[in-house]
Structure 1
Amino acid sequence: MNLQSDKEWWTQQWIDLLNSYRFKKRLERARNYARQGNVLSLKFKEQRIIAQVQGTAPEPYKLSLWLDTFSDEDWNYIIQTLSERAIFTAKLLAGEMPQNIEEVFAANGLRLFPFTLEEIHSRCDCPDKARVCKHIAAVYYLLGDRFSDDPFLLFQLRGRTQEKILAELRQKRGQSEYEKATETEQIKSEKTQEQQSVTNSIYATSVIPENIKLEQIWEYNQQLDSSLIVITPSPSNETILDVLGKISLGASTDIVMDYFQKIYQNISQQAVITALKQGEDEGDNA
């Protein structure tokens, strides 16, 4: 079992939540239980975690953990919001938790990660009446490794399995691509009909100048009116750094990432300013 700090951010967030528990000696015993293999079994059964932990008694203790699940309506909104962010879909399909995934849940008035330990429900049949006994805490620590291997387990605890989430995301993305393709085909069809109509009209009047090429009749090579051109920044604030994720440079990581972020922001702003200036110059020369 790995209890080091070099974990994925979502795993570390789970461990940090447990480490906020004020009974430190109990947590230390729980870590020892986790390291020494006292957690005999740990299974995900629908939206619950079922485990057996060997304590001081001859028979292992049985316990369960669970989070509040989201309704089907909540999940419909979540999936819709996720499908509108291609980078989120790509990272989830790659088995990675997007860094700012909580934005999606917050936009729908929800949270993926529990904010406090009180939001994690648990039950153990040991005689310890504490809300978080050492057996439950030992399972918490092991869950960190499980979440590291499979971030979708967090979604499962909230009421949606990996298979269903990915299927719904593919369906949403597929519908979007289908709608775009259908619209494109419709435009092509209308354009073909218009071309055919014009061609028929030209042939009907027998007026076809020799220098006209019918395949180029719809090409427009004149300068556009500047008032028809609108230049705006990208609606997404994501840069290539967001797509690639955080690079690992040891102690210098945050400094380098901040520096790169500033560079990308300056480049983006300068690109918009340059484009706007060129648009104004062309408008003045028109």
Structure 2
Amino acid sequence: MQANYDFQASREWWSQRWLELLDSYRFKKRLERARNYARQGNILSIKFANAKVLAKVQGSEPEPYSVSLALDSFSDEEWGFIVETMSQRAIFAAKLLAGEMPQNIEEVFTANGLSLFPFTLPEVHSKCSCPDKANPCKHIGAIYYQLADRFSEDPFVLFQLRGRTKEQIISDLRKLRSANISDAEAQTLDVRESINNQQTSLNIDNFWQYNQPLESSLVVIAPSTGETVLDVLGSIPLAKEDENPASINSTDIVMKYLNSLYKDASQKAFLAAMNVGNQ
């Protein structure tokens, strides 16, 4: 299989994080040969057998070497906690479904006492059929670099190395999110039912009615001495009579009339209230 391997500085952060692990290896010459193997198409095949990577790498001999690579898989219980934590942060599910690794995805794993990325090379269990006793040899190193490309194309490959496929994670996320939505809808219905029950127990028509007798000593009836509605609203902006400037302004006439009506209405209301209070 011809590898289209390009070492770009702009590589996705999760792929770069994986390569940083390999870059910690002190035998730089061996890593250079591994990069060349990845560039030049020496990786003939690469596939997954559950959480293990199996590959064929062409070396200096006619027969290609067999390479295997694996990480420690998380248990079903641990993955249950991980996916539940993911489901509580919608941005994680949205980015993963879009083929992007959330920048702070590692928080999901550390919150459950785990790490998505291995800390040291010995945490990566790798073997090669070549006679080189060093690990990683250049054939294993080439698979490291090839996996970085795979991670860039599909971040779920990294999860698969930890024991969960893309289909399993998406299915579990959808189930948990559906359950969360159902719970939220049930809570909303409970609140609506409670509000409806409160509303039906009130008689809106009689809301302002007070049918209990009033204590006469507590009732004070007095005319208003503050600003009236007319004072607050001000003069009505009627047109001026330009033809006869000496005549009384139309606005003044209307306002005087309204003031007299307001005083008359206020006096009648006061007398009516006094009569009711004396009954």
The change in CA–CA distance for 1:188 and 1:54 in structure 2 (over 3 A counts) is: same
Shift of 1:197: 3.4
Confirm whether residue 98 of structure 1 aligns to residue 111 of structure 2: no
Q: Deviations over 1:156-211 (max 9, x none)?
A: 01011111111111211111111111111122123223323334xx7xxxxx3598
TM-score (norm 1): 0.68
Question: How many angstroms apart in 2 are the aligned matches of 1:51 and 1:94?
Answer: 28
Distance of 2:59 and 2:72 partners within structure 1: 28
Alpha-carbon shift at residue 108 of structure 1 (Å): 0.8
| Counterpart check, 1:58 vs 2:62 | yes
Find 1:11's aligned residue among 15, 31, 34.
15
Match of residue 271 from structure 1: none
Aligned to 1:226: none
Matched with 1:149 is: 153
Match of 2:73 among 60, 65, 69: 69
Aligned-residue offset at 1:117: 0.9
| Alignment coverage as a number of residue pairs | 205
Compare CA radii of gyration and give the structure with the larger one.
Answer: 2
Deviation at 1:78, TM superposition (A): 0.7
Alignment partner of 1:160 out of 158, 161, 164: 164
Does the alignment pair 1:78 with 2:82?
yes
Distance 2:40 2:94 in 1: 38
Distance 1:58 1:159 in 2: 34
> SS at the partner of 2:202?
helix
Q: Give 2:30's match in structure 1, choosing from 22, 26, 31.
A: 26
1:124 aligns with 2:115: no
Amino acid across the alignment from 2:101: M
Alpha-carbon shift at residue 141 of structure 1 (Å) = 0.7
Given candidates 167, 172, 175, the residue that maps to 1:171 is 175
Closer, same or farther: CA 209–53 of 1 in aligned 2, 3 Å? same
Greater per-residue helix proportion: 1
Structure 2 unaligned blocks of 5 or more: 210-279
- Cα-Cα RMSD: 1.7
AA of the residue aligned to 2:34 = A
- Structure 1 residues 171 and 210, CA, compared in 2 at 3 Å: closer, same or farther? closer
- Choose the corresponding residue for 2:93, options 74, 89, 113: 89
Change (3 A) 1:210 1:5: closer
User: Structure 1 CA distance, aligned partners of 2:132 and 2:207?
Assistant: 97
Residue by residue over 1:211-240, the C-alpha shift from the partner in whole angstroms, topping out at 9 and shown as x without a partner, is 89xxxxxxxxxxxxxxxxxxxxxxxxxxxx
Which runs of 4 or more aligned residues in structure 1 lie more than 6 Å from their structure 2 counterparts after TM superposition? none
Q: Please list the CA deviations of residues 102-134 of structure 1 after superposition, one character each: whole Å capped at 9, or x if unmatched.
A: 111111110001111111110111111112111
TM-score (norm 2): 0.70
What secondary structure is seen at the aligned counterpart in 2 of 1:62? Answer: strand
Deviation at 1:89, TM superposition (A): 1.6
**Cα distance between partner residues in 2 of 1:102 and 1:4:** 23
Secondary structure at 1:49's aligned position in 2? Answer: strand
CA apart distance, 1:81: 1.1
> Structure 1 unaligned runs (5+)?
203-207, 213-286
d(CA) in 2 for partners of 1:125 and 1:57? 12
1:193 aligns to what? Answer: 197
Measured in 1, the distance between the counterparts of 2:60 and 2:87 equals: 49
Name the aligned partner's letter for residue 120 of structure 1.
V
CA distance in 1, matches of 2:105, 2:123: 19
Mapped to 1, the partners of 2:207 and 2:104 lie a distance apart of 62
SS of match in other structure, 1:40: strand
* 2:181 maps to 1:181: no
Letter in 1 for 2:154: D
